[in-house]
Amino acid sequence: MSLKHDIEFALNGVRKRVAVDVTMTALDMLRDVVGLTGTKYGCGEGECGACTIRVDGQTVNACLMFAVACDGHDIVTIEGLAADPKADALREAFVEHGAVQCGFCTPGMVVQAAHILETNPNADAATIKRGLEGNLCRCTGYKKIVDAVESACCGGR
């Protein structure tokens, strides 16, 4: 019925080989095939950012990417940030600032925020807001999220 395709990629720094349906999204592969459920389905059309992952250092909506397109690439998910000290500081900033409420947008927010900090360590509030524009949150009004990211800028200085 469905065509399977073997792919191989780096997932959070570890080589991974899986067979995926050619119509499958990267999001479904991460959640259902690999079993990493930190990346969330929120809308399926790239609007909410709950499924934000990093592909070769760029942030991508996993719901808009085919699983087969992961072949040969370097994929990092929220789970992969666990071992990253910079991301750890960022997560602690989210904790300290009360930037998490229901938490459903949070993994995508953290992945995107980590990307902002890495590409623009001196980002100001306006830059951070622009950077988070693709990540929707319905709980916080974004204030504490932006505050948290700003406080983690420049290594928290």
Partner 1 sequence: MNRETIVGTSAPRVDVRDKATGQALYAADIDLPGMLYGKVVRCWEHAHARVVRLDLSAAAKSPGVVRVLGPQDVTANRYNSSVLDLMVSEQMHDMLGDIEDQRIFTDHVKFQGDAICGIIAKSEEAAERAAAKVIVEYEPLPVYLTADASKQPDAIRFTPEKPGNLAFQLPEPMFPGHALGGGDVEAAMRDADLVVEDVFYVPKQKQCQMEPHAYIAKLDSTGRLNCWTSSQMPKLVQAKLAKLFGLPMSLVKVTPTVIGGGFGTRLGLISEPQACAMAMSVPGHAVKLLTLREEDWVISPSRHPGKYWMKIGFRKDGTPLACDARFENYKGGYYLDASGTAFTAGAWLGGMYKFPALRYKGESYFTNQGLTGAYRGYGNPQTNFVLEQLIDRACAQMGADPVEWRKQWHKGVGDDGWCPGVTYPSCALDECLDRGAAAIGWSEKRRQYAHQSGTVRRGVGVAVMNHTSGAMPMLLEHTACTVKLNEDATAEILFACSDMGQGSHTALKQIAAETLGFPFDHVQLSSGTSDVAGFDIGAHASRTIYVGGAAVKKACEDVRRQLLERAGRHLQVSPDELDIRDKRIFVKADPARAIEAETITRAGVYHFIDPATGQAGGEPGQIQGYVSFFAPHNSPPFGASFAEVEVDTETGEVRVLELVNAHDIGRAINPAAVEGQLEGGIQQGLGFVLSEEMYYDGNGRILNNSFTDYKMFGPSDMPKITTILVEDPDPVGPFGAKSVGESGLVSPVGAVANAIFNAIGIQFTEAPITPEKVLKGILEQGVRDYGSIGGAH
Site residues (vs partner 1, CB under 8 A): 1-2, 21, 31, 35-45, 47-48, 50, 77-79, 81-82, 91, 94-98, 100-107, 110, 126, 128-130, 132-133, 135-146
- 101 or 120, CB closer to partner 1? 101
User: What's the closest the beta carbon of residue 121 comes to partner 1, in angstroms?
Assistant: 19
Nearer to partner 1, 7 or 149 (CB): 149
Question: Which CB, 98 or 121, lies closer to partner 1?
Answer: 98
Least distance between partner 1 and beta carbon 33 (Å):
12
Residues 20 and 67: beta-carbon distance below 8 Å: yes
CA-wise closest residue to 38 among 118, 135, 104, 133:
104
Nearest distance, CB of residue 30 and partner 1, angstroms = 11
Q: Could you tell me the smallest distance in angstroms from the CB atom of residue 80 to partner 1?
A: 10
Least CB distance to partner 1 at residue 19 (A) = 14
Cβ nearer to partner 1, comparing 40 with 73: 40
Return the number of the residue (73 or 97) whose C-beta is nearest partner 1: 97
Q: Of 20, 22, 15, 45, which is closest to residue 31 (Cα–Cα)?
A: 20
How far CA 128 is from CA of 11, 76, 95, 147, 151, in Å, comes to: 27, 21, 18, 9, 11
